[in-house]
Structure 1
C-alpha cells in the first residue's frame, strides 16, 4: 500500500513536472517567435585602433597575443588558434558609463541590475532642428512636443537622442568629434528622470553635453543612472515601440566598458520619429 501510494505520488510529480516543462517550452517558443517576427537593429559601432575617442584617453592599442616563451604571435597555422591583446580606456567605442564614472560611491558596471539592461526604448529625433541650430540641446519643450505626437514617455524607459552624428563615425571621424555638437540639456535630462521615470539615456556623441562642467552627464551619473555613448543606427528604430538590450562584460568594479547594444523592433512598429 505504501509502495503504491509512493508510486502514485511520484507519477503525479513526474506528470506535473512534464506539464510544467511543456509550458516552459511553449513560453520559450512564444518569446522567440515575438523576437524573430520583429527586426533586430544593431545600435553599436565596431571599434578599432583608429576609432574616434576623447583626446584625453588616446587610441586603443590592439596587438596579436604572443607566446610568452617564444615572443611569437599565436597563429592558426602554427598553434591552431589566434587571439588579441587590447589596451584601451573603458570609455571606447559604443560604451556604457555607469554612475561610478563620475560618482565616488556610484554603481560600477558589474552592479547595474540586469532588469535595467532590457528596457522600452524611446527615441527623440532632433535632426530636423539641426539645420538652424547645429548644436541644439534637447529641451523640455522638445520633449513635450514629442509627447503630443507619441504620447507620454513611459516610466522605466531608455531614452535615446538621435542626431545622426553616427553617420560620420567611419566616413568623417574629424567631423564626428566636432565641438560644439547636438546634445542633452540638463533640464531635459532632469525632466526625463524626475518627471517621467526614465532609467537610462543614450546618444550618438562621445559626451552628453557641451557645457564646461559637463552638467548633464555629471547630474545623471551622480544621481544613479547609467548612459550609453556613441550609439549607432538610431535612424532605423521608431520613436516608440522597440525594446533596447544593452550588454557589456561584467568587469568587477568597472567604471566603463565597450558595450553591445541592440533594439528589438516589432514588425508593426511605426518608423516615424
Structure 2
C-alpha cells in the first residue's frame, strides 16, 4: 500500500510528463480520484509546531520579532477596521520553529532550500522511537545497534525514506521551553546517521530537538549536511505516527539561495496502516 501511495502521489504532484494516449484526460481523472480517495481515507498528522516571538530557539540567534505592518506614509498599523486588511512583519532567523536545514546551512557549496528536488520532499517515513531507552539513559544517542533492533521488528529501513527520531521532547515545546532547550538531550549518534545514509539509502532525517546531536562540534549535523542531505528540526507529534507505513510531506517557502527556513511538515497515514497503529 505504501509503495502504491507514493507512486500515486508522485504522478499527481511531481510528474511533468504528458500522457499521449487518446484517453489521457480519463487517465488523469482516475489518478486524481485515486489519490484523493487515499488521502481522504488517511489519517493526517501535523508534524509542525506553531511558532511565535517566544518560541524556543538557540540563544545565538535570539527570538523572532513579529510586528504589525504599517502604512509608510502615516506610520499607523494596517487594521481590518480602518483598511480592510492586516499584515505582519516577521524578523527571525531561518532556523526558527519547525524548520528545514539544507546542506547549505553547513556547506558553502551545498544545496539551498530552493534547489532541493520536490521528489525529496515527499518520502516514505520511518520513525525510530527511543522513548523506551530514555528511562535508563535520558540523553541516549540512537545507535546502529538500536537501528538493527528496530529492523528485527519492522523490517529493513527502506531506501529513499525519511528517518525521524521520536524522543517526546516536543511535549515540552509550549509547556516547559526551558526543559526543551536543555543540553544534553536525546539525539542521534554520528554512527547511526552514517549508517542510515550509507547503508540504508535514507534521503533525509528529522528530530524533535533543535540540534542533531550534543557533541561540541555538532558532528552528526555537520556530516549529514556536508554529505548533501537535509534535515527537519523541532518536529512535533511523532508519537502519533507508526514506525512504518506513512508518507512524509515537507514543504517550505522557495527562498532563493536560502540556507534554512520554517517548514510545514505532515504525515499521511493510510487507513490500513492507521488501524494497525
Q: Report the TM-score range of the alignment, normalised by the length of the smaller protein.
A: over 0.9
The Cα RMSD (Å) is 1.3
Cα distance in 1 for residues equivalent to 2:31 and 2:261: 33
Matched, 1:53 2:57: yes
- 1:149 equivalent among 150, 153, 162: 153
- 2:69 equivalent among 45, 65, 82: 65
Superposed structure 1 runs of 4+ greater than 6 Å apart: none
- 2:216 equivalent among 200, 212, 221: 212
Q: Is the 8 A contact 2:43 2:274 kept in 1?
A: no
Structure of greater Rg: 1
**Structural mapping, 1:182-221, within 5 Å:** 182-221=186-225
Matched, 1:33 2:59: no
Gaps of 5+ in 1: 1-15
- With over 3 angstroms needed to count, the CA separation of the structure-2 counterparts of 1:272 and 1:192, relative to structure 1, is farther
Counterpart residue number, 2:167: 163
Counterpart residue number, 2:252: 248
Secondary structure of 2:271 counterpart: coil
Q: Is the 8 A contact 2:45 2:266 kept in 1?
A: yes
Secondary structure of 2:51 counterpart: coil
Counterpart residue number, 2:5: none
Name the TM-score, length of structure 1 as normaliser: 0.93
Gaps of 5+ in 2: 1-19
Offset, 1:167: 0.3
**Structural mapping, 1:63-142, within 5 Å:** 63-142=67-146
Secondary structure of 2:23 counterpart: helix
Matched, 1:260 2:264: yes
Q: Number of matched residues?
A: 258
**Structural mapping, 1:164-183, within 5 Å:** 164-183=168-187
Offset, 1:21: 1.1
Superposed CA deviations along residues 163-216 of structure 1, whole A, max 9, x for unmatched, are: 000000000000000111000000000000000000000000000000000000
Cα distance in 1 for residues equivalent to 2:74 and 2:274: 58
- With over 3 angstroms needed to count, the CA separation of the structure-2 counterparts of 1:264 and 1:62, relative to structure 1, is same
